[in-house]
Amino acid sequence: MKRVVSLFCAMVVGLLVTTASAGHADTLGANRYQVTNLVSDVPGAAANLDPNLVNAWGLTAGPTTPWWVSDNGTDRSTLYDGTGAAIPLVVKVPGAPTGAVFNGGLGFVVSHEGASGPSRFLFATEFGTIRGWNPGVPPPAPSTMSFNVVNRHGAGAVYKGLAIATGTQGDLLYATDFVNGRVDVFDSAFNRVHKKDFVDPNLPSGYGPFGIQAINGDIFVTYAKQDPTSTDEVAGPGLGFVDMFDPEGRFLGRVASRHALNAPWGLAWAPADFGRFSGDLLVGNFGDGRINAYAPDANGGFERAGVLRGAGGVPITIDGLWALEFGTGGVSGPTNSLFFTAGPDDESHGLFGVIDAAA
């Protein structure tokens, strides 16, 4: 996945996260947020340096685990606490990993050379595979390897995102196949189910499912415009949609259309103590690096509430923005701190950081 940006914008600290001109009615005093760069592969760009962190994409954590980041550019997953300090474990994830999820259940078993156990972390890849990791597969623990548990490469799949939730058939994995324009769903034994679900009857042609997140019992899916080969997204103002489905893939409605969307991927639900946009759905644009907020209305829909702004009321812009996730309250950080990943400078570099509501 590539896009055209300034070739030097990731090379200095001040250009990894930038701002744009102010405007609109969401410039109230409460709409002030502070961005902190925690880790980068670029010397001096963040508090911590990690050469493995290239095109940092998927981001996930369990209730008591550190953050696991999908390093798309190095085929690795690196681990950090909520301050950006590295955890001394680097896991190999071949295939250009994208979305990542934590699994706390007993399903999604990964096996290798006689050792097996539930995949504690799972990764989707642009190679059309899903890979699982268990600390004891293979021994000695902790393992530094992940293994294929799903392989749809032969079917032409290119997975850009991954979510996990519970449906009527138990725990399910949801992978966005951008090329083929569908959401692939797998049960806890990795059988493909709901093959004809996750359809938006009003989605324009030429858009593919991009990001995906399980939020409040529903499945939110972002859509980006496909390039002529359908393998990469096309960035541009208004090029994006967000839909909501139930865990069985039934279409519940359109959350957002065009307007402020620009190749949206990241999704997160803000807690009650996140400043101006508390209780809103946050949608991160890969295309322009902005984070838009959508407030739920009384009719079960959503209304755009504004864009996150930094100092001086100017919109926060994070070059190559990917994931948005709030801390779990443990080693991953406070529950009202919004952590993010990004692939600045045409995805040739990486960034892991955090956004907090200004005091």
What are the pLDDT digits (tens) for 6-25? 322 333 333 354 444 333 44
Does position 64 have pLDDT exceeding 50, yes or no?
Answer: yes
CB 178 within 8 A of CB 192: no
Q: Which CATH superfamily is domain 14-357 in?
A: TolB, C-terminal domain (2.120.10.30)
Q: What is the pLDDT of residues 195-244, one digit of tens each?
A: 999 999 999 999 999 999 999 999 999 999 999 998 899 999 999 999 99
By CB atoms closer than 10 A (0-12, 13-18, 19+), residue 64 is: exposed
d(CA 159, CA 174): 10
Domain boundaries, the chain: 14-357
Q: Report the b/e string of 74-89 with b at 16+ CB within 10 A.
A: bbbbbbbbbebebeee
Mean local confidence (pLDDT), 145-161 = 98
The candidate with the shortest Cα–Cα distance to 289, out of 349, 237, 222, 227, is 237
| Interstrand relation of 218-226 and 192-193 (parallel, antiparallel or unpaired) | unpaired
d(CA 324, CA 5): 21
Does position 257 have pLDDT exceeding 70, yes or no?
Answer: yes
Q: What is the pLDDT of residues 186-198, one digit of tens each?
A: 999 999 999 999 9
Mean local confidence (pLDDT), 141-160 = 98
pLDDT confidence tier of residue 324, bands split at 50, 70 and 90: very high
Mean local confidence (pLDDT), 120-145 = 98
The candidate with the shortest Cα–Cα distance to 45, out of 323, 359, 345, is 345
Give alpha helix (H) positions in the chain.
Answer: 13-16, 344-347
d(CA 8, CA 27): 30
Q: What is the pLDDT of residues 86-99, one digit of tens each?
A: 999 999 999 999 99
Determine the straight-line distance between the first and last CA of the chain, rounded to whole angstroms: 37
The candidate with the shortest Cα–Cα distance to 261, out of 286, 244, 230, 281, is 286
Residue type (1 letter), 119: S
Q: How many CB atoms lie within 10 A of CB 139?
A: 11
Per-residue pLDDT at 30: 76
196: its two tokens: 């004809």
Least confident of 135-139, 148-152, 230-234, 264-268: 230-234
CB 315 within 8 A of CB 20: yes
Residue type (1 letter), 46: A
Mean local confidence (pLDDT), 174-178 = 98
Per-residue pLDDT at 123: 99
Per-residue pLDDT at 193: 95
Per-residue pLDDT at 311: 87
pLDDT confidence tier of residue 29, bands split at 50, 70 and 90: low
CB 356 within 8 A of CB 18: no
The candidate with the shortest Cα–Cα distance to 282, out of 211, 330, 225, is 211
